[in-house]
């Protein structure tokens, strides 16, 4: 049986994996879906000092305190920043890294530096009280079903600006994880994640999968996602 740790994207929480975790657990696998500090069920912890490093430390802390080994570590969207930073420090505990329509950063990059100065300025400008970045509407991610739109709208929470601005520390140890997988959501509007998918297609040591839905794969196509993850076990 495999052990999965599923790391959500920006503004989300462990809640977003519900449909996928049910399918993985039904097959007897162990699944953790942590909610990162300051968002989701932990929104009451939110403050301006929570950064990318806070989220990386939280995932590492979970894996270490639960004494997990051979972990299949999955990161969705912004979660790609988090799992890269975590893998840099605990690569021997990981069997597979899965980037689910996610950022794959280089050392010293932040999410906003990947997106460019215009998006960085926009993100900072939208931050309430100077640090609370609000979630975009679900339509931004290509979500179409009204029930999914309503669920995402209810559950998403603002996220600390520092999580988007803080650079990842990834000197290269994370590359030692034996298996790396990229899952591209081909129905996601915009070019943000396409370069990472193309990288995975052409880089030795990477596997590539595509799903025909918007960015919120674990919500829109949980069975298809679970099928891919189950094959990794």
CATH code where residue 41 lies: 3.40.50.1820
User: Radius of gyration (Cα) for the chain, nearest Å?
Assistant: 16
CA 129 to chain centre: 25
Q: Do residues 45 and 38 make contact, with C-beta atoms less than 8 angstroms apart? A: yes
How confident is the model over 194-221, as a mean pLDDT?
A: 96
pLDDT at 190 over 80: no
Active site residue 113: no
Is the pLDDT at 122 greater than 90? The verdict is no
Average pLDDT for 7-21: 98
pLDDT at residue 68 greater than cutoff 90: yes
pLDDT higher than threshold 80 for residue 103: yes
The Cβ of residue 57 has, within 10 Å, a number of other Cβ atoms equal to 16
Report the relative pairing of strands 159-160 and 132-133 from DSSP bridges.
antiparallel
pLDDT given at position 34: 98
Instruction: Provide the residue range defining the domain that includes 156.
Output: 3-232
Segment 201-210 shows an average pLDDT of: 96
Contacts of 56 (CB under 8 A, 6+ apart): 82, 85, 86, 89, 168
Q: What is the pTM of this model?
A: 0.97
Confidence check: pLDDT of 79 > 80:
yes
Pick the catalytic residue from 77, 139, 147, 160: 77
Total of domains in the chain: 1
Rounded mean pLDDT, 109-116: 95
Q: By the 8 A CB rule, do 14 and 35 touch?
A: yes
188 has a pLDDT exceeding 90: no
Is there a contact between 80 and 99 (Cβ–Cβ < 8 Å)? yes
Query: Residue 147: in which H helix or E strand, if any?
Result: helix 146-155
């Amino acid at each position: 049986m495999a052990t999965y740790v599923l790391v959500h994207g920006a503004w989300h929480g462990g809640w977003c994996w519900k449909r996928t975790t049910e399918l993985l657990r039904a097959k007897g696998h162990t699944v953790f879906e942590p909610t990162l500090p300051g968002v989701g069920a932990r929104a009451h912890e939110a403050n301006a000092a929570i950064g990318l490093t806070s989220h990386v430390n939280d995932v590492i802390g979970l894996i270490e305190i639960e004494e997990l080994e051979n972990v299949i570590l999955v990161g969705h969207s912004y979660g790609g920043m988090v799992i890269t930073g975590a893998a840099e420090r605990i690569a021997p505990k990981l069997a597979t890294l899965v980037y689910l329509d996610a950022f794959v950063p280089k050392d010293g990059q932040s999410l906003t530096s990947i997106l460019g100065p215009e998006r960085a300025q926009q993100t900072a400008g939208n931050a309430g009280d100077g640090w609370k970045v609000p979630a975009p509407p679900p339509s931004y991610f290509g979500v179409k079903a009204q029930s999914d739109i309503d669920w995402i709208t209810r559950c998403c929470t603002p996220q600390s600006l520092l999580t988007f601005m803080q650079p990842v520390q990834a000197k290269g140890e994370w590359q030692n994880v034996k298996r790396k997988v990229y899952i591209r959501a081909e129905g996601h509007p915009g070019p943000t994640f396409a370069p990472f998918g193309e990288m995975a297609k052409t880089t030795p040591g990477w596997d590539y999968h595509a799903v025909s839905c918007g960015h919120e794969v674990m919500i829109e196509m949980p069975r298809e996602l679970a099928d891919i993850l189950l094959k990794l076990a």
